[in-house]
Amino acid sequence: MNGSVIEIIQPQGKAAEGEEAPPTVVARAVYEHPFIVRLCHWINSVALFVMVGSGLQIFRAFPSFGAKIPQKDLLHWPKAFAIGGWLGGALQWHLTFMWIYMATGVLYLGYQIFSGNYRQVLFTPRDIPGVWPMVKHYFFGGPKPPVREAYNPLQKHAYTTAIGLGVLSVLTGLVVWKPAQFSWLGWMMGGFHWARIWHFAVMWAILGFVLGHLVMVILHGWNNFMSMLTGWKKDPEY
């Protein structure tokens, strides 16, 4: 169904007497988001919510990146914006949902690669010239570049980066979880201590993406939002 187009037409019959009038096309819809992509998106959004919330509760147990002695706290994250209630509870959430988070990641990446659907979202060197005009349009009141495909170059950049951050969140998390078994991966990150810092930094980068993503969803309206639920985008701009 990928790439499918629907032309929504007015019911026939009353149009003309005797002759068969060509149906009037009143709207178009394009199938933008295959089922697996939508499924992964929504499961992952729940999983990400839990991972961030429980991760911040885990961080509350030792809110520092320095030594234990003397302990210099970085920030006191409020308990109200954390999940799990206590360290052990938060770890239960974190260690359970990390499997859901990883499973949707693997399913998503596998589907995108094997279906070829990645082409609509993967940022490639071809997209580079289109980035600046989009930035000018979004942030500096520049003219709107013509819309030719489901994702504009800046969107491709954002989504490709977000997927990259997702992969990094898993890799840094693996080192924090198993610094001995994944010691080679930890070594590449500068050791366990640094992996914990990277893991934390990647979370904030992902939250930055989520914020921008939510703002754009609100700005782009209902049809765009519904496309992530039904797959079909009504009245696309291209």
Binding site for other proteins (CB under 8 A): 1, 3-11, 23, 25-27, 29, 35, 38-39, 42-43, 46-47, 50, 58-59, 61-62, 64, 67-69, 71, 87-89, 91-93, 95-97, 99-100, 178-181, 183, 186-187, 191-193, 196, 226, 229-232, 234
The CB-based long-range contact list for 154-157 (8 Å cut-off, 24+ gap) reads 154/130, 155/121, 156/121, 156/122, 156/123, 156/124, 156/127, 157/123, 157/127, 157/131
117-139 CB burial, b ≥16 within 10 A, e <16: beebbebeeebeebeebbeeeee
**Complex with other proteins: residue 65 or 209, whichever CB lies closer:** 65
Tokens of 89: 């509870």
- In the three-class reduction of DSSP (H, G, I as helix; E, B as strand; rest coil), residue 124 is classed as coil
Q: Which is nearer to other proteins, 87 or 201 (CB)?
A: 87
Nearer to other proteins, 153 or 179 (CB): 179
What is the closest distance, in whole angstroms, from the C-beta atom of residue 125 to other proteins in the complex?
Answer: 26
Instruction: Quote the least distance from Cβ 186 to other proteins, whole Å.
Output: 8
Taking the C-alpha atoms of 205, 209, 212 and 218 in order, what is their torsion angle to the nearest 10 degrees? Answer: -140
Q: Which is nearer to other proteins, 166 or 186 (CB)?
A: 186
CB of 79 to other proteins, least distance (A): 16
Min separation Cβ 174 and other proteins, Å: 9
How far apart, in whole angstroms, are the C-alpha atoms of residue 75 and residue 62?
10
Q: For other proteins, which is the closer residue by CB, 36 or 168?
A: 36
Preceding omega of 70 cis (within 30 degrees of 0): yes
CA distances 154 to 67, 109, 126, 145, Å, are 41, 20, 12, 11
Q: Which of residues 35 and 81 has its CB atom nearest to other proteins in the complex?
A: 35
- C-beta of 82: minimal distance to other proteins in Å? 14
- In the complex, the smallest distance separating the C-beta of residue 88 from other proteins, rounded to whole angstroms, is 4
Rounded to whole angstroms, how far apart are CA atoms 220 and 88? 41
